[in-house]
Amino acid sequence: MHLTAKIDFSDPHGGPDATRLRHAFGTPQHILTATTWSEVPAVLDGVQAAAEKGAWCIGYLRYEAAGAFDIALRTHPADGPLAWFAVYGQALPWPEDHPTIPPAPTLHWSAPAQRPVFDAALHQIQQAIANGEYYQVNYTAQMVAAIDGMAHGAAPALFAALQRAQPGGYAAYIDTGHEQVLSVSPELFFDWHSQPHGGEILARPMKGTAPRGHTPEQDTAQATALRNSPKERAENVMIVDLLRNDLSRLATPGSVQVPRLFHTQALPAVWQMTSDVQAHTRAGTSLAQVFGALFPCGSVTGAPKVRAMQAIAALETGPRGIYCGALGVVRPLGDGSIHATFNVPIRTVVLQGNQARCGIGSGITAGSQASAEWNEWRHKRAFVEQASMSFDLLETLALENGQWRHGTDHLARLHRAAQHFSYPWDAPRIHQCLADLAQAQPQGNWRVRLLLDSSGQPSAQAFTLEASPPQVRLQLATQPLAEAHSPFVHHKTTHRAHYDAFTPTLAGIYDTVLYNEEGEITECTRGNVAMLLDGQWVTPALHCGLLPGVGRAVALRNGRLREAVVRLEDRPRIQAWAFLNSLRGWIAAELI
């Protein structure tokens, strides 16, 4: 049976061990669709009626459906149906991944915006805030990728890859025939349990972002800083107040509450801050009325909503589409009651014809800084860039007369990468793979390339390890490494295009010293770097954007090195240089 939809939704009211709503859906009984604003409420009424009679309904509203509920909510013209729902007679079990599923297509995404355009938009927003026009605007842009002859089954494979890159949350796959929607959104729009005498509704807006740390200590510090940031808290409270006001249009008097404020949620690339707003809905409230009060979610508009959406329509060059709309499931509860759960479709890819689209954005306030918001966009797009390419995790080890040099450190780093990228981890299988290779090469010095693919299958290959040179010459990169804070820098993988661009081309140059966009020295393309600075050997701190090399970790443990932030302008103070990694050890270096 051809599956037209899948949902994998967290329980909004449960803890980490709560049961997930995880189902697949085959051929729908019929489709409900709206192409004009006047048709949208009728579609939602049809969805509610079908669910009350026992059907499951899966579908979405485009952001441009907002005018169906309030004509003052300005948008661009829509690029597809304003509302689309499939009605199913039953929910099927979630299909197990099958080895014959083709690999996800490799997609090369355009940048969501050019930096000068981005900076100009932020300046315009902040000028309007200073003039009192609004408090906050959620500014977004679309990334686009061409799909060259995507094979049948590649869309579900890409969805699986997206789920590995962004696990948990409110994931949904919908194939309408005209377009495929692949959403791995972590944000709950609303969860509504409707009963004849009333109902309960929960909204969980997501506002406030910080990058994940590179160590457990840094990660905890990042979460704490996010929770305590006046700028991020103010941004969150603005949207909480907007949602409280929206929910009051549905609620029984005095029932709107905020039971949880400033909760930090860990995602693979970022920390996000959420708050809960809940209420009792009045008897007779309809699904169309819920959308009429809440749509679009204030977290993707700004405040106040009407003026913020007018600004968005002027700033953004085209429709948002399903991105920033609503996507979810309305299911029967067996007694005429229904349960509706919708995400805010951020972290969402839409495939149409030979094109893929994905929106990225952030909330802009008076305290926003262009460089910080630009980096936030980079962190947020990491999920789709990771899912859009095929890569293995990689470790390069030295095997000396059958013994592994720093083997425990290498496997610990590989395990951290597997956890980050959600690759299966089978420690006994990996140990056996290495044991088999060591048994085959009991004598001599070998460079071993250990790979772990996305299915958790390890492989290892040995090459003769030549003697390391006593001294090497390094060159300084002519431009910053823009991807310094990418997971493909913090974890070692076969995806190395960002490093390959800096491979030395001059004879006699061993490697290139890299630096980030803040002018902080980071690493080389094949190892870490050490510098004798003011009489002390130092190596760049991890938060500057570099691989946590095993040789570097050993040197830090034994006291030969300490971490420091070293900037390009500090070079005159550097008395000596060294290149180091686990394979080659410590090599004296000269920077030309």
pLDDT in tens, 166-179: 888 999 999 999 99
For the stretch 269-290, pLDDT in tens is: 888 999 999 999 999 999 999 9
What pLDDT sits at residue 103?
67
Using the predicted structure, report yes or no on whether residue 105 has a pLDDT greater than 80.
no
The mean pLDDT of 212-237, rounded to a whole number, is: 88
Nearest residue to 333 via CA among 171, 190, 194: 194
pLDDT at 226: 92
Of 87-96, 146-155, 473-482, 512-521, give the lowest mean pLDDT range: 146-155
In the chain, the amino acid numbered 188 is: L
Any idea which of 150-154, 161-165, 311-315 has the lowest mean pLDDT?
150-154
Does 535 lie in the same domain as 449?
no
CA distances from 445 to 49, 419, 433, 468 (A): 72, 31, 18, 12
Instruction: Give 278's Cβ-side CA count (13 Å radius).
Output: 13
pLDDT higher than threshold 50 for residue 99? no
Q: Are strands 348-352 and 257-266 parallel, antiparallel or unpaired?
A: unpaired
Q: Mean pLDDT throughout 298-302?
A: 95
Closest-CA residue to 287 (of 325, 321, 337): 337
Active site residue 187: yes
For residues 477 and 460, membership in a common domain is answered with no
CA proximity to 135, closest of 258, 248, 23, 301: 301
Closest of 550, 561, 224, 558 to residue 416, by C-alpha: 550
* pLDDT in the model for residue 316: 97
Listed residue (101, 190, 192, 107) closest to 143, CA to CA = 107
Q: Which two tokens stand for residue 538?
A: 């130092």
Distance CA 398, CA 44 (A): 62
304 and 444 part of one domain: no
Using a 10 angstrom Cβ sphere, with 0-12 exposed, 13-18 middle and 19 or more buried, the burial of residue 504 is middle
The H or E element containing residue 430 is helix 427-440
Select from 4, 53, 58, 64 the least CA-distant residue to 336: 53
* pLDDT confidence of residue 15: 61
Same domain, 477 and 439: no
Q: Name the catalytic one among 207, 305, 380, 492.
A: 207
| Mean predicted confidence (pLDDT) in 29-38 | 97
Average pLDDT on 71-92 reads 96
Query: Is 554 a domain residue?
Result: yes
- The terminus-to-terminus CA distance of the chain in angstroms comes to 64
Identify whether 6 is a catalytic site residue: no
Domain boundary among 448, 464, 480: 464
Residue range(s) defining the domain that contains residue 289 = 5-205+281-386
The helix/strand count (H/E) of the chain reads as 14, 31
pLDDT at 554 over 60: yes
Q: Same domain for 188 and 103?
A: yes
CATH number at residue 436: 3.30.470.10
* CATH number, domain with residue 101: 3.60.120.10
Distance of alpha carbon 270 from alpha carbon 165, whole angstroms: 12
| pLDDT confidence bin for 62, thresholds 50/70/90 | very high
Q: How confident is the model at residue 97 (pLDDT cuts 50, 70, 90)?
A: low
| pLDDT per position as a tens digit, 470-502 | 999 999 999 999 888 888 999 999 999 999 999
Q: What is the CATH number of the domain that holds 475?
A: 3.20.10.10
Q: Is there a single domain that holds both residue 122 and residue 77?
A: yes
pLDDT digits (tens, 9 = 90+) for 332-346: 998 889 999 999 999
Q: Provide the number of structural domains found in the chain.
A: 3
Does 352 share its domain with 400? no
What number of CA atoms fall less than 13 Å from residue 33's CA on the CB side? 8
DSSP annotation string for 172-188: EEEE-SS-EEEEEE--E
Q: Among residues of the chain, what percentage have pLDDT more than 70?
A: 97
In a domain, 242, yes or no: no
**DSSP state letter for 567:** B
In terms of domains, do 422 and 315 share one?
Answer: no
Amino acid identity, position 373: E
| Closest to 264 measured CA to CA, from 228, 234, 223 | 223
> In the predicted model, what is the mean pLDDT of the chain?
92
The pLDDT tens digits for 339-376 are: 999 999 999 999 998 899 999 999 999 999 998 899 88
In b/e form, how buried is each residue of 509-518, taking b as 16+ CB within 10 angstroms? Answer: ebbbbbbbbe
CB 444 within 8 A of CB 467: no
Between 68-82, 206-220, 565-579, the lowest mean confidence (pLDDT) is in: 206-220
| Same-domain status, 490 and 412 | no
**Annotated catalytic residue: which of 64, 179, 187, 232?**
187
